[in-house]
Chains A and B, each alone.
Chain A
Amino acid sequence: MNESPLRELVPAVIGVLVRRGADFASAEDAVQEALVRALDTWSDDPPRDPKAWLVAVAWRKFLDAARAEASRRGRELAVDVEPPAGPVPATDDTLRLYFLCAHPILPPASAVALTLRAVGGLTTRQIAAAYLVPEATMAQRITRAKRRLAGLRLDQPGDLGTVLRVLYLVFNEGYSGDVDLAAEAIRLTRHLVALTDEPEVAGLLALMLLHHARRASRTGPGGRLVPLAEQDRSRWDTGLITEGVMILQAALARDRLGEYQAQAAIAALHADAPSTSETDWVQIVEWYDELLLLTDSPVVRLNRAVAVGEADGPRAGLVALADVDPDLPRYTAATAYLHERAGDLEHAAELYAEASRAATSVPERDHLTREAARVRQLLRP
C-alpha cells in the first residue's frame, strides 16, 4: 500500500491529541501505535475518513496508557476522557512539531529520529532499518529524546536553523533500508516551505532538488562512486533542475542570502554546465567566497580550493589549499587531485593511496584506491 498519504496525517493527528490535553510524548507514542495498526490493517479495509480513524484510535491508545499510568500511581485520570465537542480546530501544529523535534537541546541523531517519526510519520522499525541500528535502540533513542523535551510546550518559538540542519542530515543519509530518506527529506522541506516565509528554507529545498537531480548518475555499476567530471549528464533529471533553479531564483530575489541559498547557487551552476570544462568556475569560486563569509567552515574552504584549481589552474588550487586544515577527511584526496592536474603523477598516486586509507566510507575508499591504480597505470611505460 502507498504509505505517503497516511504518513502525511501523522503530525496533524499528534496536534489534535495535544490540543485535547495529551502531553506531546504520550500523544506521539499513541499516534505511532495507531499508525502501526493502520499499516497492518488498512490494506484490507481502508477507512473512509483516514484522519478521523487515526485520531479515534490514537486517542483510545492514549487513554488506555494514561489510565494504566494513573492506576499505577493510584491517582485519578487528569485528562478529560471525552474529547471536547465541536469540529477539530483547523490550526496546523505541524510547524511547531518541526521546531520541537529538532530542538537545539537534542543531539542531532535524536532530533533526526524524532523528526522522522513525529513529523515524517515513519515507524520506529523503518527508521531503525534506515540507520542500521536495532529497533529497540532506535525506540529508546526516541523515548530519551522526548524525555529531554518534557516540560517544553508545543507553542514555544523554535530555532529554524536547527530544523534545516536536521532535514539536511536526513537528506544526506540517502537511500538505505526500504525508505528513501532523501525523498523523505525533500517532502518534509517542501512542507516546511509552505509553512514558513524564509528564503533559507527555499534555499535548502532548491539545494536538495539540485543534488537529487544528479543522484542516478552519481553511482555506477555495483554502487561505484562516479565523480562529477565523469557523470553522464544526460541522466540528470532536468525537471528537478528546473524546479530547483526557479525556487532558488525566487529566494535570491528576496536579498536575504544564507548558506543554503549559496550552496544551491553552486549546485545550480554545476547543473547548468554541459561538462566540467564548460562550468563557470569563476562564479563558483565567488559563491564559495560568499559562503565563507556566512559560515567560515573548513569544509567550504577545502571545496573552494578545489574550485580555485579549476578556475585558475591546479597550482593556484594548491596555494589555496595551504589555508585549509590538513586533518579534514577529504584534504589528501583534494591534494592528490590537484597534483594530478598539475602533472605530478607520481606524487598524486601516492596521495590517492594515502587518501584511500583516510576515507570515511567504503565507496569513497574504493574510489580513491581505484584513482591511485589509474594514475599508477599512467606512469607505466
Chain B
Amino acid sequence: MKYLLLKHYRGAPAPVNDVPMDKWTPEEVDAHMQYMRDFAARLEETGEFVDGQALAPEGAFVRYDGEGHPPVTDGPFAETKDLIAGWMVIDVESWDRAVELAGELSAAPGAGGEPIHEWLEVRPFLSEQTTVTE
C-alpha cells in the first residue's frame, strides 16, 4: 500500500521544537540533513521507498479563463495559505507501518539537537486496481 507523507512549510499545527532552521547552529543543520538522508536510505534498504521531492516555497494558483483567454494566475501565495514543502511516497505493509515511519521522520533533530516533533500529513493513495469481489 502506498502512502504520501506530506511536509508543510505552513498550515500544519505548530511543531513542539518550533525554531526556524536558519536560527539553528550549522552543526544542528548538518545533523538534521544527515537524519533525513539516513531515513530515506534506510527505506530504500527495506524496499519501502518510492519517491521523495522537495518543493520551492514560490508558486501560484492557476485556472482556466475561457476560450481565447490566457489562464488566470493568482500568486504569490498569501501568508495564510497552507504550503507544502515536500513529500515522500512510501510503499508499506499497513497503515500502522506508515504511521510508525512518519513518526520517525518527525523525530528529525532540530534546534538544540532535540527532535522537532513536526506534524506530517499521512495520506493513503487510492489504488488503480479494483479488487475482484465476485
Contact = CB atoms under 8 A, between A and B. Distances in A.
A167 interface: no
Nearest to A368: B22
Interface size class, chain B: 10 to 19
Interface string A215-242: 0000000111000000000000000000
B25 interface: yes
Contact of A373 (B29, B34, B54, B56): B29
Given A370-B30, A373-B22, A222 B58 contact: no
A370 B21 CA distance: 8
Contact of A224 (B20, B21, B33, B58): B33
A195 B122 CA distance: 56
B23 A373 contact: yes
A356 B54 contact: no
Contacts of A222: 33-34, 37
A369 B22 contact: yes
Given A222-B37, A223-B37, A224-B33, A358 B58 contact: yes
A209 B57 CA distance: 35
A118 B51 CA distance: 30
Given A222-B37, A357-B57, A365-B54, A352 B22 contact: yes
Given A356-B22, A358-B58, A370-B29, 11 more contacts: A223-B37, A224-B33, A353-B20, A357-B57, A369-B22, A369-B29, A370-B26, A373-B26, A373-B29, A374-B26, A376-B22
Interface of A: 222-224, 349, 352-353, 356-360, 362, 365-366, 369-370, 372-374, 376-377
26 contacts: A222-B33, A222-B37, A224-B30, A224-B33, A353-B22, A357-B56, A357-B57, A357-B58, A358-B56, A358-B58, A360-B56, A362-B54, A366-B29, A366-B33, A369-B22, A370-B26, A370-B29, A370-B30, A373-B21, A373-B24, A373-B25, A373-B28, A373-B29, A374-B26, A376-B22, A376-B23
